[in-house]
Amino acid sequence: MLEWKEREHEAAEMAAMHSPACIQALRECGLLKFFRTHNMRKQTGLLERLVHMWDPDLRVFHVGARDLEIEIEDIYFITGLSRRGAPVIMSGQRSDVELTMDHFISTFCVAGTQKKAGRVPIPAVTDVVLRTILLTITRAFGSLGAHAATKAQMAYAVECLEPRVFNWCEGLRTNMFHQLTSCRTGKQSQFGYGSILVAIFLERVPLLQPQIALPVRPPTEPRLVLWASLAERLRGVQIIHFDAPFLAWLDRQTLVVDDFPYGGVDFTGDAELALPPGANWDDSGMCF
């Protein structure tokens, strides 16, 4: 059985939402919009169904008679993460990081901090801005180990303070594919991108959407905000809930894939989404 493994916002992050220094740093490295999103309530039954649809060789989902390929645009409009800037490697090691883990700990953590399974314990990081960036990066990485950062994640977080804009969308998509394949082939049982994957399917497969009038949202709002809010319990009723009877009904339906969702979403010129030096906005921030 798969485990929906995501870390929710904690008290320290909620406090950071009111810190101008944290907000500015997150904006300048392309993480602010994602930082402000929340995860969905767990939909483990649907997640297992989606992972079963995954083709590790073709890297697509087989949805009925159609193939659904996750595009960069899906990650971009769902999460609000930057799609421009320096590349991010989320799987494996960064060969360009010369500093050691001991250096990161001695420089950025309280005295006496020890490595935790070879990682930096994030609560021990003394600077609140760096700590907030680290928590957001590990969430973007779909990290399965809570409250601890790898050497690569530490290096990216320190570079974010320069500031430096990164292409988080490409790195996240690649890492999601890696986790999907590991889950599909039985190499791991935990999945760190449940909210993002389910939100993508809610956009791309209309039959999964609740049969209600969807609320109108601001054009600069990542779509994960909408789907996470509908998955909450409102007056005791969970609007989005994929139980066993629904999944059995879904198996008997002909599923249609929408290749052009995200109507009305427009990040063009959004002050909360920084661009790399010398870059300008074009129509890639929009979806008509």
Q: How far is CA 68 from CA 43, 97, 169, 229, 256, in A?
A: 20, 36, 18, 25, 10
Residue 24 counted as domain residue = yes
Residue 61 counted as domain residue = yes
Q: How far is CA 125 from CA 9, 52, 169, 187, in A?
A: 17, 39, 26, 32
pLDDT for 235 beyond 50: no
Residue 274 counted as domain residue = no
Burial string for 196-229 (b: 16+ CB within 10 Å, else e) reads bbbbbbbbbbeebeeeeeeeeeeebbbbbbbbbe
Angle at alpha carbon of residue 140, lines to 205 and 31, rounded to 5°: 105
Residue 260 counted as domain residue = no
The type of residue at 214 is: L
Could you please report the per-residue DSSP string of 146-164?
A: TTEE-HHHHHHHHHHTS--
Say how many residues make up the chain: 288
- Token pair recorded at residue 151: 């050497």
Residue 78 counted as domain residue = yes
Which one has a higher pLDDT value, 8 or 273?
Answer: 273
Confidence band for 98, pLDDT divided at 50, 70 and 90: confident
Q: What is the pLDDT of residues 144-203, one digit of tens each?
A: 776 889 999 999 999 999 999 999 999 999 999 999 999 999 999 999 999 999 999 999
Residue 288's pLDDT is: 40
The type of residue at 51 is: V
Q: Is the dihedral of CA 288, 80, 204, 242 positive or negative?
A: negative
Q: To the nearest whole number, what is the mean pLDDT of the chain?
A: 88
pLDDT for 96 beyond 90: no
CB 207, CB 253: distance < 8 Å: yes
Q: How far apart are CA 195 and CA 177, in angstroms?
A: 15
Closest by Cα among 24, 44, 38 to 227: 38
Q: Which domain holds residue 189?
A: 7-255
Q: How far is CA 248 from CA 3, 164, 172, 228, in A?
A: 20, 47, 31, 23
Residue 174's pLDDT is: 95
Residue 206 counted as domain residue = yes
Residue 198 counted as domain residue = yes
pLDDT for 21 beyond 50: yes
Q: How far apart are CA 268 and CA 284, in angstroms?
A: 8
Q: What is the pLDDT of residues 37-71, one digit of tens each?
A: 988 878 889 999 999 999 999 999 999 889 999 99
Residue 281 counted as domain residue = no
Number of domains in the chain: 1
Q: How far apart are CA 163 and CA 166, in angstroms?
A: 10
